[in-house]
Amino acid sequence: MSDKKIKFTSIKLALLGDQAVGKTSICKVLMKKEFDSDQISTIGYDKVEKNFQIKNGPEMKVVIFDTAGQERFRSAALQTVRHVHGLVIVFDVTDRKTFDNIEHWLNVIKDTFDQPSMVLFGNKSDVDKKKWAVTEDELKIAAEKYKLTFFETSAKTAKNIDEGFSYVVNEAFNKIKGKENVVVDIRKKPKSKSGGCFGKKKKETNDK
């Protein structure tokens, strides 16, 4: 093995999930932008940058990719972001199909990514639980089955979004730091930078 050290300067994350589960809205809320219930769909991918404070560690720049949920744009987006360090898998608690598709996304991850840190978001949790398409017991069982830390999130109220991202950022950082020949390079203090995460063209409704 080479003794050459690899400088690590930023953490890269990607959001994955079906169309209209709220990935773009989550991304916007994370960047402290206004929630939009009529968010338009992302084509391919979009990205933003944000600083995160690592627990008992440095402040790191995190690059966050918002990927397309629509199948016809999905393949190209996945190939573009396949080298990310962490993944946020998002489903809609009011849409049973998106919950059932968690396993599909995990298979995609297995075939595309190299053991990234992961977290599961059940989005639109602000909706009355009587209207949820999945029970709390099913959520608990799924999290245990897939060995994923689960957060009930809402882009509408910002519930657990910062907390969920902080969790996966710290998990990714610790995994990277634990690898041989990796040096964390924090000589330059990162600056928060907002970018896309607004989607393009096709309208995506009820995206909370």
How confident is the model over 71-115, as pLDDT tens digits? 554 566 677 788 999 999 999 999 999 999 999 999 999 999 999
Residue 205 inside a domain? The answer is no
Number of domains in the chain: 1
Residue 200 inside a domain? The answer is no
Rg of the chain over Cα atoms, rounded to whole angstroms, equals: 17
Residue 189 inside a domain? The answer is no
Count of C-beta atoms within a 10 Å radius of residue 76: 13
For all residues of the chain together, what is the average pLDDT? 83
Tell me what percent of the residues of the chain surpass a pLDDT of 70.
75
**Residue 68 to residue 134: CA distance in whole angstroms:** 24
Question: Which one-letter amino acid corresponds to residue 43?
Answer: I
Count of C-beta atoms within a 10 Å radius of residue 193: 13
CATH at residue 131: 3.40.50.300
**What is the DSSP secondary structure assignment for residue 185, as one 8-state letter?**
-
Residue 138 inside a domain? The answer is yes
Residue 203 inside a domain? The answer is no
- Domain range for residue 116? 6-184
Residue 203's φ and ψ, nearest 5 degrees, are -70, 135
As to burial, measured by CB atoms within 10 angstroms (0-12 exposed, 13-18 middle, 19+ buried), residue 170 is buried
